[in-house]
Amino acid sequence: MAQHRQDDHELECEPSDGLGTELAALAGRAGQRSGERNGDRNESQTVLRACEVLKAFHHLGEELPLTEVMRRTHLPKTTSFRLLRTLIHGGLIERVSAGVYRNSFGPVSERPFRIGFATQGDTEFAREVTRGLITAAAREHVQLVTFNNRYSAREALRNADAMIREQVDLVLEFQTYERVAPVIASKFLAADTPVIAIEVPHPGATYFGADNYKAGLMGGRALGRWARDHWDGRVDQLVLLDLPIAGSLLELRSAGLVDGLRAELPEIANTPLVRLNGRGTFEQVLEVLRKFLRRRGARKTLVGAVNDVCALAALRAFDEAGAAQLCAVMGQNALRGARTELRRPGTRLVGSVAYFPERYGDELMALALNILQHKSVPATVFVKHQLLTPRNVDLIYPLDEASVIGFGRSSATGRRDSEYRNQRGVHA
């Protein structure tokens, strides 16, 4: 009752024309609206007007003052107020404060938001992101229009044109090649379509993805501590498996790793550093490492990998060379194959920095809706990272454990390799 008295007070100073006058005015306005059909005597005009009030709220949780509800529905103040109060009783609208109301039901609109999503390609990471986005889009009543960039700069350009033809409201762009990012961005800018760039920045787009320097720093520090504790800090060489096609931002991952190593192991500054290209499938990266080991020979080596495909290929290469005990590897992404390896007794995978792609969908959808609703958003949104090691992997991913119980060294290694054999090392 107290709430109703306060609501009524909002209208105390407003003159009432009377219900009959109000309905007559509504009928006159209704007749003037273009394209509106004649009413059916079996329809409830009150229910129809209540539907108009619900449609005024464009998304779940949107808050509108009474005056904005009036503007969007073209209904008088008294009618808008009474309908809002009725919808509050029905549990579809909440009263936030005096004259301000929140949608607690969801969008009731003729056309939901249409978001274009161009996924990077067919990898575990990309599949996790896609799965999360599909779930989030269904929950938020958003139409998700999906495309596959297939790790191709040309395909990414074609998909950009296709999304513009589809007239999507916003684009989620997940493609690897920094060199085509400005071209893709210019297409969407000309079409006045906002863009969220996933993992690889695009000019003018909101960036969502890894804090690459921080992720590298976390891995480098852990690798340096391991070398100090197990090898007394004596390292013969440092190998970095990079991904040049992803551009300057991803270089920060390697820079962070080197800085983290130096913070824990200052003498590493005098250790020979070798950079190898980590682009390609597991088998392609493995062949690069095989050639390297044949040329340079096995020695105490710290390996900083740009992603888990490269990390697992390094473990395999040293194992084949009979030098598994001469390497220590740090991965990035903490995907399932790496998590399986971390559970293997005696693994030389020191750790892998987690990115949690299974969480991307919810976070990306929230960011996209804020942009579409013209809310203020930061230019850069970093995901949270955590270092996974043999000690904590089961705490962070407990549901994985059942799938690897009973695996010995050879079977776990075979499972790890098979999971990544067809994966590409181009993921950022």
Q: What is the pLDDT of residues 241-270, one digit of tens each?
A: 998 887 787 899 999 999 999 999 999 999
Same fold, 1-11+44-110 and 212-354+391-420: no
Structure confidence by residue, pLDDT tens digits, 89-127? 888 899 989 889 988 876 665 568 999 999 999 889 999
Q: Which helix (H) or strand (E) holds 215?
A: helix 212-231
Map residue 353 onto helix, strand or coil. strand
Q: What is the 3-state secondary structure (H, E, C) of 73-139?
A: HCCCHHHHHHHHHHHHHCCCEEEEECCEEEECCCCCCCCCCEEEEEECCCCHHHHHHHHHHHHHHHH
The closest alpha carbon to 303, from 253, 349, 361, 364, belongs to 349
Buried b (16+ CB within 10 A) or exposed e, 118-132: bbbbebbbbebbbeb
The C-alpha atoms of residue 406 and residue 397 are separated, in whole angstroms, by 17
- Specify the 3-state DSSP secondary structure of 203: coil
Radius of gyration of the chain (CA): 29
State the pLDDT at residue 170: 98
- Strands 100-103 and 63-65 come out as antiparallel
Q: What is the pLDDT of residues 17-33, one digit of tens each?
A: 343 344 334 444 444 44
Structure tokens at 353: 């920095």
Mean pLDDT along residues 57-76:
88
The type of residue at 193 is: T
Structure tokens at 29: 């306005």
Give how far Cα 272 sits from Cα of 174, 222, 269, 313, Å.
35, 20, 8, 21
Q: Report the pLDDT value the prediction gives residue 231, as an integer from 0 to 100.
A: 97
pLDDT at position 105: 76
- Nearest to 254, CA basis, from 209, 220, 302: 220
Contacts of 30 by beta carbon, 8 Å cutoff, 6+ apart: 36, 39
Give the alpha-carbon dihedral of 206, 212, 218, 224, to 10 degrees. Answer: -170
pTM > 0.75:
no
pLDDT value of residue 20: 39
| C-alpha–C-alpha distance, residues 191 and 212, integer Å | 30
pLDDT category of residue 57 using cuts at 50, 70 and 90: confident
- Second-level CATH architecture of 212-354+391-420: 3-Layer(aba) Sandwich (3.40)
Mean pLDDT rounded to a whole number for the chain: 86
CATH 3.40.50.2300: does it fit domain 114-209?
yes
Instruction: Estimate to the nearest angstrom the gap between the alpha carbon of 118 and the chain centroid.
Output: 12
**CA 320, 324, 327, 332: dihedral to nearest 10 degrees?**
70
Task: Assess if CATH 3.30.70.660 describes domain 1-11+44-110.
Answer: no
Q: Does the pLDDT of residue 11 top 50, yes or no?
A: no
Q: Tokens 């549901």 appear where?
A: 399
Give the DSSP H or E segment for 380: strand 380-382
pLDDT digits over 267-320, tens only?
Answer: 999 999 999 998 888 999 999 999 999 998 889 999 999 999 999 999 999 999
Nearest residue to 278 (alpha-carbon basis) of 249, 311, 326: 311
Sheet with 93-97: strands ordered across: 63-65, 100-103, 93-97
Contact 190, 183 (CB under 8 A): no
Which residue has tokens 């990115």? Answer: 355
How does pLDDT run across 215-244, given as a tens digit for each residue? 999 999 999 999 999 999 999 999 999 988
pLDDT of 408 higher than 50? no
Domain ranges within the chain, ordered by starting residue: 1-11+44-110, 114-209, 212-354+391-420
**In whole angstroms, what is the distance from residue 383 CA to residue 353 CA?**
12
Q: What's the CA gap between 336 and 329, in Å, rounded?
A: 16
Quickly tell me which residue has 């799965």 as its tokens. 131
Query: So what's the pLDDT on residue 298?
Result: 87
Question: What integer pLDDT is reported at residue 236 of this predicted model?
Answer: 97
Residue type, 388: L
pLDDT score, position 418 = 53
Which residue's structure tokens are 């040049």?
244
Residue 5, pLDDT > 80, answer no
Q: Is 179 exposed, middle or buried (0-12, 13-18, 19+ CB in 10 A)?
A: exposed
Rounded to 10 degrees, the C-alpha dihedral 164/176/417/337 comes to: -80
Sole residue written with tokens 């044949």? 294
Q: How far apart are CA 294 and CA 372, in angstroms?
A: 55
What is the percent of the chain with per-residue pLDDT over 70, rounded to a whole number?
A: 82
| More confidently predicted of 133 and 49 | 133
In terms of DSSP H, where are the helices of 277-327?
282-296, 308-320
The predicted pLDDT at position 28 comes to 43
How many angstroms separate the first and last alpha carbons of the chain?
A: 58
